[in-house]
Chains A and B, each alone.
Chain A
Amino acid sequence: MSMITRSTGILYKVWSCHLSRCSDSVHRQGATMLAMVVCFTMSTGIARGQPKPANPMAVTLADFSKRVDDYAGLHKRLAGQVGELDETKSPAEIAAREKKLGDAIRAARADAKQGALFTPEVSAIFKKLIQQESKGRSVRVKQQRNEAEEEVPAFTPQVNHIYPTTFPLATFPPHLLKVLPPLPKEVEYRIVAGHLILRDTEANLIVDFISQVTF
């Protein structure tokens, strides 16, 4: 239930963000109309005593959040087994711990395939959210987003593979972070060469990805 509330909150944020960037009244009215239709549909169902209708988008995002939380739980458990990393003067220790944690996660998710977290439904919503968020951005902002991506050589991500350590990590558009579902600290989003990657922040592993994401 709380996840549905969280996802509905995200939907609200997307809508209000869209609304705040709509400069012309036609678009503003359109966004408001959309919200009213959604509210009306939901409230009439409730008034008729029907089971509370779940917004399909909220349900899908709630499912995504659950999958992410499950992954974060696995990460925490394995990190506990491998040993938490404190600050150290030894880069070798940092590298060894990163590898050890990565190996443990890989072993635990040996059968993980693309789509384990970014299910086809989640992927479709994410692509839409990203496109909607980008739609109102200026040419300069879009250009800077593309430039940040272009700093990374092209590569094909694979689940359970490490993110190439010699590649820079493309800077993530900060406004996009405001509309995508928040993540626990164990994972982060990155957009690289047209792929939205879910990256394990300590093990440097590619947990899942969505291809053909465009700004």
Chain B
Amino acid sequence: MNPQAPARFAALLILSWSLAILTGQELTLPQRPDSVRFAVFGDSGTGDTAQYEVAAQMVKLHEKFPFTFSLMLGDNMYGSERPQDFEKKFERPYKPLLDGKVDFYAVLGNHDDPNQRFYKPFNMNGQRYYSFKKGQVRFFGLDSNYMEPDQIAWLEKELQASGSDWKIPFFHHPLYSSGMHGSQIELRALLEPLFIKYGVDAVFAGHEHFYERIKPQHGISYFTSGGAAKLRSGDIRKTDLTASGFDRDRSFMLVEITGDELFFQTISREGTTVDKGMIRRRDAFKPATAATTGVGIPR
């Protein structure tokens, strides 16, 4: 055996490790002019070190990828919700982003007092569910804790009116998940037929404390991004659902929409890219009946 072989092997190992880190940290989003750029994160409101570290990573990447708003996927505030908690669990960690005019659009998680809808920095306009438009993208913020018939009727009306825009609902409970809580099948029975009927393109949810990208279901891309502070390490079970998952550390997403393409990159607390890719917009608004989609109401 060549006496230098172990040393060479070690050097190669270090080189490939460094390359992997460098590649992992690379920002791959195209940053095209006039694109819609945003961050996505959920289950953030602990006020602990992990939340602050994820927030710091977001701030760092905001310098390279100046996103203009963020989707907060619920559990914005764990435990008490006193004024000092809003400061500790939201205003302080995201201060550089707030100062940099990044808007936050929140939805309610099961740990959130519904009166958060009156908190202006969450941009909910005093409503438990609402929609807003950025460029050619229509977002639908839903209250998945309390999916009353009025909300379903409202969603259908809004989806119908959104025409050929990109359609992106976001809410707390994932319709598909390989984690501890699992896919929310009751909620899915109510929402998915509408998503299919009106050509929803992508869906963001939290609740599970990890990152997961689901293999497209009925042409829809589902993302779970609920690890912006809490983590359920090793919680992603091996199922046929997962296209990509990360449950070893906290994470958040960066997203860019330009024309018919949505680019995403998922970043860990340490700044490593744990997933990335692109999805294309589905055919612009082709009404279909739920019956033709094969989606029924599970029991």
- B114: chain A residues within 8 A (beta carbon): 169, 201
Please determine whether B83 and A92 come into contact, CB atoms closer than 8 angstroms. yes
Contact residues, A156-176 vs B (CB, 8 A): 165-166, 168-175
| B79 CB within 8 Å of chain A | yes
Stretch at the interface among B25-33, B181-189, B276-284, B285-293: B181-189
| B53 CB within 8 Å of chain A | no
CA distance A188 to B145 in the complex (A): 11
Distance in angstroms from B299 CB to nearest chain A CB is 5
CA distance A85 to B113 in the complex (A): 15
Please determine whether B115 and A174 come into contact, CB atoms closer than 8 angstroms. no
- A20: chain B residues within 8 A (beta carbon): 297
Q: Which residue of A lies closest to B190 (CB)?
A: A174
User: Which among B125, B149, B181 is the interface contact of A178 at CB below 8 angstroms?
Assistant: B149
CA distance A122 to B144 in the complex (A): 27
Contact residues, B65-115 vs A (CB, 8 A): 79-83, 85-87, 110-115
Interface centre among B112, B147, B173, by most chain A C-beta atoms within 10 angstroms, is B147
Please determine whether B119 and A165 come into contact, CB atoms closer than 8 angstroms. no
Q: 1/0 per position for B125-158, CB-CB distance to A under 8 A?
A: 1100000000000000000111111100000000
| B24 CB within 8 Å of chain A | no
- A177: chain B residues within 8 A (beta carbon): 146-149
| B17 CB within 8 Å of chain A | no
Distance in angstroms from B261 CB to nearest chain A CB is 33
Q: Which residue of B lies closest to A174 (CB)?
A: B147
| B216 CB within 8 Å of chain A | no
Given contact pairs A138-B298, A141-B299, A174 touches B186 in the complex (Cβ within 8 A): yes
| A91 CB within 8 Å of chain B | yes
Chain B interface mostly helix, strand, loop or mixed? loop
Interface centre among A20, A90, A145, A171, by most chain B C-beta atoms within 10 angstroms, is A171
Please determine whether B186 and A151 come into contact, CB atoms closer than 8 angstroms. no
Given contact pairs A136-B299, A137-B299, A172 touches B83 in the complex (Cβ within 8 A): no
CA distance A136 to B80 in the complex (A): 38
What is the interface size of chain B, counting residues whose CB is below 8 A from a CB of the partner? 40
User: Which among A85, A147, A182, A204 is the interface contact of B118 at CB below 8 angstroms?
Assistant: A85
Distance in angstroms from A106 CB to nearest chain B CB is 17
Please determine whether B186 and A21 come into contact, CB atoms closer than 8 angstroms. no
Please determine whether A144 and B185 come into contact, CB atoms closer than 8 angstroms. yes
- B144: chain A residues within 8 A (beta carbon): 171
Please determine whether B186 and A169 come into contact, CB atoms closer than 8 angstroms. no
User: Which among A89, A98, A170 is the interface contact of B115 at CB below 8 angstroms?
Assistant: A98
Please determine whether B113 and A87 come into contact, CB atoms closer than 8 angstroms. no
Please determine whether A88 and B118 come into contact, CB atoms closer than 8 angstroms. yes
| A24 CB within 8 Å of chain B | no
CA distance A138 to B149 in the complex (A): 22
- A204: chain B residues within 8 A (beta carbon): 113, 115
| A202 CB within 8 Å of chain B | yes
Please determine whether B110 and A148 come into contact, CB atoms closer than 8 angstroms. yes
Please determine whether B148 and A168 come into contact, CB atoms closer than 8 angstroms. no
Please determine whether A89 and B185 come into contact, CB atoms closer than 8 angstroms. no
CA distance A160 to B112 in the complex (A): 21
Interface centre among B114, B115, B185, by most chain A C-beta atoms within 10 angstroms, is B115
Distance in angstroms from B154 CB to nearest chain A CB is 12
Distance in angstroms from B152 CB to nearest chain A CB is 8
Please determine whether A21 and B111 come into contact, CB atoms closer than 8 angstroms. no
- A174: chain B residues within 8 A (beta carbon): 147-148, 186-187, 190
- A86: chain B residues within 8 A (beta carbon): 118, 126
| A140 CB within 8 Å of chain B | yes
- B126: chain A residues within 8 A (beta carbon): 85-87
CA distance A88 to B284 in the complex (A): 38
Please determine whether B121 and A169 come into contact, CB atoms closer than 8 angstroms. no
Q: What are 24 pairs between A and B in contact, CB < 8 Å?
A: A85-B126, A88-B119, A88-B120, A91-B81, A91-B85, A91-B119, A95-B81, A137-B299, A138-B185, A147-B181, A168-B110, A168-B111, A169-B112, A169-B113, A169-B145, A171-B144, A171-B145, A172-B145, A172-B146, A173-B186, A174-B190, A177-B147, A182-B148, A202-B115
Known: A20-B297, A91-B83, A169-B145. 9 other contacts (CB 8 A): A88-B118, A91-B85, A98-B115, A137-B299, A140-B182, A144-B184, A151-B110, A168-B111, A173-B186
Which residues of B pack against A, CB within 8 Å? 79-83, 85-87, 110-115, 118-121, 124-126, 144-150, 173, 181-182, 184-187, 189-190, 297-299
A-B interface, 5 closest residue pairs, ranked by CB to CB distance from nearest: A174-B147, A91-B86, A92-B83, A91-B83, A87-B120
